[in-house]
Amino acid sequence: MNRKILVTALVLGIVAIALGAFGAHGLKKRIEPEMLMTFETGVRYQMYHALFLLFVGTTPLASEKAKKITFILTVIGVLFFSVSIYFLACNELFSFDFKKLGIVTPIGGLLLIVAWLVLLLNIMKRKG
């Protein structure tokens, strides 16, 4: 499980760097500055959670079950939160109105919070 978590963390990090560069260079002249800042928020949270998963995959402080639950919640949370933000920020570039899917953003944020809570509670209940 740790290897899977670490590989996922690294992929999320690589993609975050690539999207950050794309936002800074490819989107700068194509979307409004406010939407570019929104896009950057998605990138930032994706990178935060790539780093979080690096910790999860290497810590001996959490049980394997807690790591698995944290991993699943984090991956789904990043997909819902960051990916929805990418599409919402670039909404004017598409013919489809991604604002209709905006409800998934707060759901993703909630999943990310729960992932951190699962890990926190698991570490707190362990002895030693």
- Contact by Cβ (8 Å): 38, 81: no
CA distance 114 to 116: 5
The tokens for 15 are 């993609």
- Contact by Cβ (8 Å): 71, 112: no
pLDDT at 96: 85
CA distance 81 to 116: 15
What share of the chain in percent tops pLDDT 90?
82
For 26-38, the pLDDT digits (tens) are 998 898 999 999 9
Domain ranges of the chain: 2-125
pLDDT at 45: 98
pLDDT at 128: 64
For 79-105, the pLDDT digits (tens) are 999 999 999 999 888 888 888 888 999
